[in-house]
Amino acid sequence: MDWGTDLWDQNDVIDKHTQSGLDLVERYIKFVKERTEIEQSYAKQLRSLSKKYAKRGSKEEQDCRFSNHASFQDILNELNDYAGQRELIAENMMTGICVELTKFLQDFKQERKTHLADAKKAQQNLESNFKHLESTKKRFAKEWAEAEKATQQAEKTENDLNATKLDVEKAKQHAHARTHTAEECRNDYAALLQKYNKEQNFFYYTEIPQIFNKLQDMDERRIRRLAGGYSQFSDIEKNVLPIISKCLEGISAAGGKINEKQDSLLLIEQHKSGFERPGDVEFEDYTQGIKAATSESSLNPPKVRAKLWPFSKKHKIAHVEKQPPPAAEDFSHLPPEQRKKRLQAKIDDITKELQKAQDQSEALEKMKGVYEQNPQMGDPSSLEPQITETTQNIGRLRGELTKYETWLSEAVGGEESANAINNNTQHGVGAVERSHIYTDFDDEFDDIENPIGQCTALYTFEGNSEGTISITEGEQLSVMEEDKGDGWMRVLKSNGEEGYIPSSYVKQAS
């Protein structure tokens, strides 16, 4: 069954049906375009989201050493990769479906237009021939009527007794001429009718069926191509599902990699000071006339801040322009445990550099020996500057190694003595720098203290060490103790929290 056979007389139906099919292709293309826009927007928002929450800066990188922080970064990375797959889906849908189907649609529109034009042309040609046939038929009918009329007139004249022979002869000649003309018209009509019937048969049995069958083939190809586009809509996403699954598996794996015990141990290793806890405050019996040695009253015991490790001056402070004082070369600004770790790390680095310099020196000496034995290979004296420089570098590194090993020995050996006096002093190079802070701790806090001024925080400060407090930019603070030359001052917050902050981070009220 085909259109040419069964729908030979349904030209308008075929016209509307094929147009409806092309309209469907156009609708599908528009649908896929809107889907790609959704995918692109979704991918863009996912990328923005992962970028927004990604860790940046040295402090964040330090946090990423903890498994729960690192896992969140892994999730953000996987989400970014996931967004890339959504972009790939959008790109493949645009190029594989929209672009290809648009080109296909334009070709089909032109093909349909050609076939319908051919059908219309054939129809017009048949109608024109039919009109010509009708015209010939009417002429034949007219001429035949005139011939019959002339014949009857000739017979009437011949039977008329009053008619002359000449009149009879004229009537017969006229009747004969009319009959001859009618016969010619009859022959023309018969020939044209035969030709028209042949053309009509070709039109209905050959020409129109061929055109309609071509339109049927075109429409079936359109349906097959559209069906492929439907499947492609799903297949494009299926192709990236393995990678999307890996991204989702990576997100699940990031949650499984978290080790809470390890994170706790890491925090301890990073920040433990190694100090002993403060000892009990001795009872001072004023009834016996004993003067207070380290505190003012047994009823109002001093704050224990003097027995805690003084705050570190090496902080990573966000959103500030001014930097705290530089760290001591021997790391004496750090708590004992942290100082030992940093000194050991420094010793390891110097040892590696020293080994590298020694290897270089040996290589230069060997090369110098080869040049001395084979002067044609090079001048031994040309190596002297490099040998001298390497020797000086080795001497410098050995000096630094000895210096840091001495500091490490002092840090290890001096820890017990430092703990025995409740951490009020430190053995090592940094003791002089902090002596002022320690000697003042016994009498720096009274039972009832009044603020000596007000100040406003210029920058945000994170007080992570013992004795310090955190402040926020713009926060109003009460000054409890001025800077005594060490770069720190004691303040009181509105919530009652009290501690030390860098003096350069606040502006005092005049």
List of the chain residues with pLDDT < 70: 55-61, 275, 288-327, 333, 335, 413-449, 510
Residues 172-175: contacts with CB within 8 Å, 24+ apart? Answer: 174/150, 175/147, 175/150, 175/151
Condensed to tens digits (0 to 9), the pLDDT of residues 179-200 reads 999 899 999 989 999 999 999 9
At residue 222, the pLDDT reads: 94
Handedness of CA 89, 91, 94, 99 (dihedral sign): negative
CA distance 409 to 429: 12
Condensed to tens digits (0 to 9), the pLDDT of residues 146-180 reads 889 888 888 888 888 787 888 888 888 888 998 99
At residue 438, the pLDDT reads: 38
At residue 363, the pLDDT reads: 87
At residue 416, the pLDDT reads: 46
Condensed to tens digits (0 to 9), the pLDDT of residues 292-348 reads 444 443 444 444 344 344 444 444 434 444 444 456 777 776 767 777 888 888 899
Q: Tell me the pTM.
A: 0.54
CA distance 84 to 43: 7
At residue 241, the pLDDT reads: 92
At residue 160, the pLDDT reads: 81
Q: Are 76 and 50 in contact (CB under 8 A)?
A: yes
CA distance 275 to 296: 25
Block residue for tokens 């940046």: 56
**Two tokens, residue 171:** 């009537």
- Any idea what the Cα angle at residue 174 is, between residues 173 and 176, rounded to 5°? 65
**Two tokens, residue 267:** 């925090």
At residue 302, the pLDDT reads: 41
Query: Which string of DSSP letters, residue by residue, matches 442-506?
Result: TTS--SS----EEEEESS-B---STTB--B-TT-EEEEEE---SSSEEEEE-TTS-EEEEEGGGE
Block residue for tokens 């002093």: 425
